């Protein structure tokens, strides 16, 4: 029987747009899902948004929106960002979906009727008084506070006293501890397992599952004056998405018929490793197989936070590096499962060394040599020498090693193995020097060396496909592989000889064009600034911004950048050039003659080698971008105030 694999990410809060922390976990889950699919397993990849609770309610109020409007807007942003990053989820759950809400009501009714082995009610009413942090959506103890503030959100928690319903967690603790100790419920990495077991030693209490004063939530079916606690509502997404409430076959297929792995950040360990299995036990359902906790990263040594204004928008990284490189760069900064730091300047170095140099050059020079020395056609190899056999062995054995690391969720080692093969192939080409063989007219040897290089490249593109899906698909097209092999299986990466002699190959300019370091740094800093601008600024600060009407005189695409247009604008007293990321929505022809609004007193920025002296204003709704233009005939240079 085909093995089944189900992987989930946390469902993310919709009080803001996605940030790179959430993108990190989602990319990792996507890479896992794609590897399991490539290994021939039937795979279900679940992600989504967590939409109820006071956090959403309060943010909506601040923005003058209804909670549902805020949820719709930000759920849309999450979907768009995942699309930009090529996230191949099978289902996107939203906790405001009617389907999910019905399931939560059903689950709560079952739990309300249920009793423990000792005959006590699983859910019982009580009174709760404690400190509540809205940022965490959880009660917090005095001990956890730092200078009276929640250490994660740097906010003062509020005192809440209310009637709540409680879940009898204490009745399930022994059983869960045993499941974790015996690895039936595997908590990885090992240190997180120890941390979880430590929680049992410290002692855990029953927890409250409802809120009286939070109105944005799912009403308890047995007491509509209360709403379900957002965490209880959220955890059940893992089973509502696969039909617990309405499709038993599908539910059995995945929950009971697959290896179930939850991928989460270490911040939400207790909810997943203790509360969630306990609620499942009370419901009479099985626990997941594994909970893998990845670490947290800081950005340039600082914790990401709105207050510091250093939250990076993943869309900016995609604009700059492309989807594949963003996926690669985020995953390779530090080992998955450990904490780390993302140094924005180092991203460019890594991009240039691994992707532009090692992989990009391998692809372009291999294809170019086939073009120049063999008329663009892959020729059959003749006798293999020792060096050929060695590379062949390394290539065909690589898939097994990569797959082993993937099964251990050791993403960095898996990627390292593939990069090692890339470097060995480059070394092989240097040692064999096909250009010398061509000069010496050693035709047979030349054909063999180029065959071995192309065939290894085919294997590399199959192994790297889950991490770099777009680029690997392109490599495979260029290698002349048929359409049904463009999304490859791991099996095909184990067998030598996939490339048929006689196949025509293509050539390409550059798979990953080299990047200039300065430009990169600037751009990522801009990403950070944009988030910062969501904070309040004073009137004085606003009046420092010089906004002017500008008439677009000329427009052209920027070479090698899909999304950029270079515009020559007329500001009355002077003409300037600016570069704008609008080519996805506006053609150069459409732009000429438009009277747009431009910020003119910014420091010039070099973008793709062009000095851009200003930024235009545009409205963005998901992927839709609309320019801010003036609607009466005012001169270029007129002030906008
Ligand atoms: N809604 C809850 C989860 C409910 S799951 C049933 C939640 N949402 S969240 O939007 O705050 O997302 C938390 C997750 O984002 C973390 O578990 C982690 O995967 C990811 N990260 C957030 N910041 C991060 C870093 N700085 N570094 C790495 N991952 C980060 O909690």
Looking at the predicted structure, is the pLDDT value of residue 621 above 90? no
Q: How far apart are CA 321 and CA 471, in angstroms?
A: 12
Asked whether the predicted pLDDT for residue 544 surpasses 80, the reply is: no
Predicted confidence (pLDDT) at residue 560 exceeds the cutoff of 80: no
From ligand 1's centre to the CA of 612, what distance in Å? 36
Give this prediction's pTM: 0.82
Whose Cα sits closest to atom 20 in ligand 1?
Answer: 22
Q: Pick the residue with more confidence: 75 or 487?
A: 75
Determine which residue's CA is closest to atom 5 belonging to ligand 1. Answer: 10
What average pLDDT does this structure show over 248-277? 98
| Residues 446, 438 contacting (CB under 8 angstroms) | yes
pLDDT interval class at 535 (50, 70, 90):
very low
Which of 12, 103, 136 for a ligand 1 pocket mutation test, highest count of atoms within 8 Å of Cβ?
12
Could you write out the DSSP letters of every residue in 168-221?
-GGGTHHHHHHHHHTTSSEEESHHHHHHHHHHHHH----EE-EESS--SSPEET
Pocket residues: Cβ below 6 A from ligand 1: 10-13, 21-22, 24-25, 50, 234-235, 237, 264-265, 267-268, 296-297, 304
pLDDT at 347: 93
CA–centroid distance, 153 to ligand 1, in Å, is: 13
pLDDT tens digits for range 371-408: 999 999 999 899 999 999 999 999 999 999 999 999 99
Answer whether residue 264 shows pLDDT above 80: yes
pLDDT-based confidence at residue 49 (cuts at 50, 70, 90) = very high
pLDDT score, position 514 = 94
The pLDDT value recorded for residue 539 is 58
pLDDT higher than threshold 90 for residue 28: yes
Rounded to an integer, what distance in angstroms lies between the CA atom of residue 100 and that of residue 87?
A: 22
Percent of the chain that is helix, strand, coil (3-state, to 5): 45, 20, 35
In this prediction, residue 561 carries a pLDDT of 78
- Write down the H helix ranges in 375-516: 386-407, 411-432, 434-439, 443-464, 469-478
Instruction: Provide the pLDDT for residue 311.
Output: 83
**Integer CA distances (angstroms), 67 to 81, 135, 243, 389, in order:** 21, 16, 26, 63
Calculate mean pLDDT across residues 582-591: 90
DSSP 275: I
What percent of the chain has pLDDT above 90?
A: 76
Confidence of residue 541 (pLDDT cuts 50, 70, 90): low
């Amino acid at each position: 029987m085909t093995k089944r694999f189900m992987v989930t990410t946390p469902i993310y809060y919709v009080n803001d747009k996605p940030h790179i922390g959430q993108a990190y976990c989602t990319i990792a889950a996507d890479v896992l899902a794609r590897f399991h699919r490539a290994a021939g397993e039937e795979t279900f990849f679940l992600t989504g948004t967590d939409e109820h609770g006071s956090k959403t309610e309060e943010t909506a109020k601040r923005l003058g929106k209804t909670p549902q409007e805020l949820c719709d807007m930000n759920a849309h942003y999450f979907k768009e960002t995942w699309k930009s990053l090529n996230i191949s989820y099978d289902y996107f759950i939203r906790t405001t979906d009617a389907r999910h809400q019905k399931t939560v009501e059903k689950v709560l009714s079952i739990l309300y009727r249920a009793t423990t082995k000792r005959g006590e009610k699983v859910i019982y009413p009580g009174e709760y008084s404690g400190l509540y942090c809205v940022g965490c959506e959880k009660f917090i103890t005095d001990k956890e506070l730092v200078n009276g503030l929640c250490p994660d959100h740097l906010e003062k928690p509020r005192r809440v006293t209310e009637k709540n319903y409680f879940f009898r967690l204490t009745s399930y603790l022994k059983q869960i501890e045993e499941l974790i100790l015996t690895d039936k419920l595997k908590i990885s990495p090992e240190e997180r397992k120890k941390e979880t077991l430590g929680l049992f030693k410290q002692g855990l209490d029953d927890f409250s599952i409802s809120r009286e004063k939070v109105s944005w939530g799912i009403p308890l079916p047995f007491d509509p004056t209360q709403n379900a606690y957002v965490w209880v509502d959220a955890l059940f997404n893992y089973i509502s998405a696969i039909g617990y409430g309405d499709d038993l076959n599908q539910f059995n297929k995945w929950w009971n018929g697959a290896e179930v792995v939850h991928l989460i950040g270490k911040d939400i360990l207790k909810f997943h490793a203790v509360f969630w299995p306990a609620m499942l036990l009370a419901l009479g359902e099985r626990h997941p197989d594994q909970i893998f906790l990845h670490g947290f990263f800081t950005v340039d040594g600082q914790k990401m936070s709105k207050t510091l204004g250093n939250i990076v928008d993943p869309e900016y990284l995609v604009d700059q590096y492309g989807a594949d490189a963003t996926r690669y760069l985020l995953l390779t900064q530090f080992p998955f499962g450990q904490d780390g730091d993302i140094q924005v300047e180092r991203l460019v170095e890594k991009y240039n060394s691994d992707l532009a140099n090692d992989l990009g050059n391998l692809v372009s020079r291999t294809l170019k040599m086939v073009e120049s020395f063999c008329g663009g056609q892959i020729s059959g190899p003749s006798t293999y020498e020792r060096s050929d056999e060695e590379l062949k062995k390394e290539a065909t054995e690589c898939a097994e090693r990569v797959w082993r690391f993937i099964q251990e969720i050791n993403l960095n080692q898996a990627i390292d193995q593939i990069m090692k093969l890339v470097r060995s192939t480059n070394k092989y080409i240097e040692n064999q020097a096909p250009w010398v063989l061509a000069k010496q007219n050693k035709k047979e040897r030349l054909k063999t060396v180029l065959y071995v290089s192309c065939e290894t490249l085919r294997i590399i593109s199959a192994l790297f496909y889950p991490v770099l899906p777009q680029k690997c698909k392109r490599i495979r097209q260029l290698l002349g592989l048929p359409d049904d092999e463009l999304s490859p299986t791991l099996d095909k990466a184990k067998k030598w000889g996939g490339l048929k002699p006689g196949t025509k190959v293509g050539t390409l300019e550059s798979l990953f064009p080299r990047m200039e370091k300065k430009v990169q740094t600037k751009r990522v800093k801009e990403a950070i600034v944009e988030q910062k601008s969501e904070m309040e600024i004073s009137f004085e600060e606003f009046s420092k911004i010089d906004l002017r009407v500008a008439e677009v005189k000329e427009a052209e695409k920027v070479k090698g950048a899909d999304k950029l247009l270079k515009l020559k604008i007329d500001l009355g007293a002077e003409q300037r050039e600016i570069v704008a990321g609008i080519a996805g929505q506006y053609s150069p022809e459409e732009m000429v003659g438009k009277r747009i609004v431009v910020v003119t007193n910014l420091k010039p920025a070099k973008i793709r080698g062009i000095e851009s002296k200003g930024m235009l204003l545009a409205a963005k709704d998901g992927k839709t971008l609309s320019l801010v233009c003036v609607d009466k005939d005012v001169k270029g240079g007129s002030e906008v105030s």
